[in-house]
Chain A
Amino acid sequence: MNKTMGILMIALALTIAIVPLFTDCLANGRTLTTADGRSVPMKCHWTALAEIGLAVPLALIGIFNLTSKRKETFRTLNVISIALGALVVLFPTVLIGVCANASMPCNLIEKPLLILSGILVMGASLVTLASTRNFIEPVAA
């Protein structure tokens, strides 16, 4: 179970890091024009960049879930990944946000995908935590 969840966590981390970069408004050619005529990215782009910062530790947690053999390691890592999953949801909704117009590409794909991925990260972490309750550590040779 832990190995399956580890693979799922790595896949989710890759989704969180990569997909928003191609579905934000900047990737779809939409920018904000300032009073002095400069084009700057809208906040959905900053959310996409911030999510990379969450995806890297999530991918590492996924790798450690695949390789670790200690009950305490599983517990600590998956408590951290629950917090990271919550942040994946909070960045596009509360902390940074996305564009206000509901028909913008970031509202169609980026935001819902990040919310779904964040919830799945939390779910996978909870399942791993639950499955480590009866985990028997291998005896050292």
Chain B
Amino acid sequence: MSAFQLAWKNISGNAFRNGVVSLCALLLSAFALFTTLVIRGAESSLRLTIDRLGADIVVVPEGSEAKIESALLMGIPARFWMPEDHVNKLAAIPGVDVVSPQLYLATLTGADCCSVSDMFMIAYDPSSDFTIQPWLEEELGNGLRVGEVVGGNYISATEGEQNIKVYGYLVTLKENLEPTGTGLDQTMFLTFDTAYDIASKSAVQAESQLVIPPDSISAALIKVKPGSDPQEVALQIIQKVPGVTPIESSDLFQSYRKQMTGLLRSILVILSVTWGLSVVLIGLVFSMAANERRKELGVLRALGATRRFVFRSLLAEASLLAFFGGVTGLAVASMAIFLFRKLIMVSLEIPFLLPSPVSLLLQIGAGLLLALFSVNLAALLPAFKISRQDPAVAMRE
């Protein structure tokens, strides 16, 4: 009989030890995978949102920096305005290649049956846009006409229809964007013409009118000329256009990044404490179980089993328990992350994107290795002590 076969037979005989060790491995691996997936998912989501935005600098009215971050990341509707003639002032700054204005709007909250609730809407100018328009031309072959919209990944029309009622105005959903795990997934994109059309008809058709202040925009996206330094351009914007704040794409979502760094630190502390306590608990349980089996292991030694064989069979038992607990924990954590990702985003107020299958498998493998390493580390000392005992003394006790 091999050490593995002996271990397999032994683990069916001690329900308490099996339960505690497997549960520790389950909790450890599940917690490690869950936290890694959440932190990495938030990181990749932020990166994708900045890429999707495609702008080197975002110019917003002074004091609106936090609002735009919340709108883009969490889909919390934001409304702020600055004069439209800022576009010309920004375009005149050396180093600026393209300036594209945007309007930030929101649907009605809790309106009647067919309307969507509290959705962030971004209206763009097709003549200057460099974020949505190129993607639309690639996907649809042309831009959006009046009354047509594209939605983030979560935007859907009523089943069997393609229309969504916004301020009593029926817009046609033409396409959905790929998921980003951020507020962009629950954002609707439309042209300036559609936005002004909705606003003009909402006075008659909607419970409450959509108001767009005349000659105003919410933000301006800037692409700098190749070779120009975005930081230098941002400094010039501060000097030449009063009342606005330029946010470089590298500085975008700084408050969320700080929040995530804080979250990461807390999680690392909790994970370290959980790991330490689990190792101590597993070590104690293994010591108790090994002491209970002193006679049995003494008989095994007296029958000719070597110290090495006893030591290996005890570690094989630990590995088997760690494997079963770890696999269960990793499966539950993966399922929970996949099914509850939206709830995690809403309750932790962080963006989140699921990893690729390869990355997920690598992280599951790392979680399983952590469970195996921890349980074997905890079982090492009791297994070493019990395997070195004298068989004659062990059988007499």
Contact = CB atoms under 8 A, between A and B. Distances in A.
Contact of B113 (A33, A103, A109): A33
Given A100-B159, A101-B156, A116 B116 contact: no
3 closest A-B pairs by beta carbon, nearest first, are A112-B339, A102-B154, A33-B113
Contacts of B117: 101, 103
Contacts of B75: 103
29 contacts: A32-B113, A33-B112, A34-B113, A100-B156, A100-B158, A100-B159, A101-B117, A101-B154, A102-B156, A102-B186, A102-B342, A103-B75, A103-B117, A103-B154, A103-B186, A103-B346, A107-B342, A108-B340, A108-B342, A108-B343, A109-B340, A109-B343, A112-B339, A112-B340, A112-B343, A113-B339, A116-B335, A116-B336, A119-B335
Nearest to B331: A123
Contacts of B346: 103, 108
Given A107-B342, A108-B342, A116-B336, A101 B112 contact: no
Contacts of A33: 112-113
Contacts of B336: 116
Contacts of A111: 339
Contacts of B339: 111-113, 115-116
A2 B211 CA distance: 64
A35 to B, nearest CB: 9
B201 to A, nearest CB: 21
A33 B112 CA distance: 7
A63 B340 CA distance: 30
Contacts of B156: 100-102
A101 B173 CA distance: 14
Contacts of A101: 116-117, 154, 156
B42 to A, nearest CB: 18
Given A101-B116, A102-B154, A102-B156, 16 more contacts: A32-B113, A33-B113, A34-B113, A101-B117, A101-B154, A102-B186, A103-B117, A103-B342, A103-B346, A108-B346, A109-B340, A112-B339, A112-B340, A113-B339, A115-B339, A119-B335
Interface in A91-116: 100-103, 107-109, 111-113, 115-116
Interface in A14-37: 32-34
A105 B243 CA distance: 40
A42 B190 CA distance: 29
Interface string B210-236: 000000000000000000000000000
